[in-house]
Amino acid sequence: MKNKGLRVLSVAVILCVTAFLTYYSNVIVWNSVSVSDMDEDSLTVGSVRKLLEEGELITERFHSNSRLKRLPQSIIIGARKCGTRALLEFLGLHPWIQPADQEVHFFDDDRNYNRGYEWYKDHMPYTYPEQITLEKSPRYFITEKAPERIYRMNSSIKLIVLLRNPTTRVISDYTQVYYNKLAKGKDTDKFEDLVIDKKTNAVNTGFRAVQISVYYHHLLRWLKFFKREQIHVVDGDRLITDPLNEINKVEQFLGLPTKVTEKNIYFNVTRGFYCMRTQKVEQKCLGLTKGRKHPYIEQSVLQKLNDFFRPHNKKLFSLIDQRFDWD
């Protein structure tokens, strides 16, 4: 009889210690968040996390102590220079979403892919069973083999793709490459020389930045494997002007309750940007690291690009049954 009481007591002690450690490890996780993750692709700021409803989150975590690395249930597949980093940061504010810190490049790089799912999983963050693991690698969008590979891993996965005005995307793409080259002391090309084919005086369809912006062509490949409902298309231009609206739609797509609100994302009039407030950092703003000036581009070149993309855009709109204000 006495023996049994002792056993009950020791079980109780173990439970308490486990609970305490679970709580304590949460605190550690919360305090060791990196804020210096300035991605090449960044539209925005460093990696910051989880400020929302701290009390609730800790209670939620309290009840489950099985933090594991899991394969992602959702992937942001692209496109480059459309705000993928910003979206990942914003979604990271949601307590039930755990983003991977870095672009893993699993499905677009044969060497990584051949290392297998265990390698991929090893690059994922620890999550509780009720959390969603989220990864982003914008190059998946344009990689031939990526749709089939992702389908083979999880045919019911939820995919997120950001698109923005295709001409703006080309300019932004060019600008990033331009400044990277400047920083490395390399020669730079003029925008016009890359985008316009000298012989034909038409848009140079061999220029990669132009190819990426023909979204129709790429999405067609994804829709060979995935149902339309599995791909959520985010308006990358509106993500900058009205982020909450776009984020709330993603929460809905992922089947999550709305947790990202005006409390966490607000417009700072002084800065002229949307900013987010996190536990660790007073404020992080969209557009801060963007500060690169876009080059001056002649109106006639812009016109040529817009005219070139228009028919492709039209095909895209009917393919995805969704329209954007790109004209």
Ligand X SMILES: *[C@@H]1O[C@H](CO)[C@@H](O)[C@H](O)[C@H]1NC(C)=O
Nearer CB in complex with ligand X: 58/157: 157
- Interface segment toward ligand X; rule CB under 6 A; list 48-56, 110-118, 154-162, 299-307: 154-162
Nearer CB in complex with ligand X: 28/269: 269
Q: How far is the CB of 271 from ligand X (least distance, A)?
A: 5
The helix (H) or strand (E) run that includes residue 69 is: strand 68-69
> CB burial class (10 A; 0-12, 13-18, 19+) of residue 129?
exposed
Per CB under 6 A, the list member of 283, 288, 302, 306 interacting with ligand X is 283
CA end-to-end distance (rounded Å), the chain: 81
- Cα separation, 323 vs 158, in Å, equals 21
Quote the DSSP letter at residue 175: H
Per CB under 6 A, the list member of 139, 158, 164, 304 interacting with ligand X is 158
- Interface segment toward ligand X; rule CB under 6 A; list 80-88, 153-161, 194-202, 286-294: 153-161
- Interface segment toward ligand X; rule CB under 6 A; list 13-21, 71-79, 201-209, 312-320: 71-79
Contact 88, 260 (CB under 8 A): no
| Alpha helices, DSSP H, located in the chain | 2-31, 54-62, 84-91, 110-113, 116-122, 146-153, 166-183, 191-195, 208-212, 215-222, 236-241, 243-253, 299-320
Q: How far is the CB of 52 from ligand X (least distance, A)?
A: 17
**Binding to ligand X in span 80-139, by CB under 6 A:** none
Nearer CB in complex with ligand X: 212/256: 256
**Binding to ligand X in span 4-63, by CB under 6 A:** none
Provide the pairing of β-strand 132-136 with 97-99: parallel
Query: How many residues at the interface with ligand X, by CB under 6 A?
Result: 11
Strand arrangement, sheet containing 265-268? 265-268, 273-276, 284-285
- Cα separation, 243 vs 80, in Å, equals 18
**Binding to ligand X in span 237-276, by CB under 6 A:** 268, 270-271
Q: How far is the CB of 120 from ligand X (least distance, A)?
A: 12
| Binding flag, residue 281, ligand X (CB under 6 A) | no
Q: How far is the CB of 224 from ligand X (least distance, A)?
A: 19
- Cα separation, 33 vs 146, in Å, equals 30
Nearer CB in complex with ligand X: 120/141: 120
Contact 161, 102 (CB under 8 A): no
| Binding flag, residue 157, ligand X (CB under 6 A) | yes
Please give the residue ranges that form the binding site for ligand X (CB under 6 A): 71, 73-74, 154, 156-158, 268, 270-271, 283
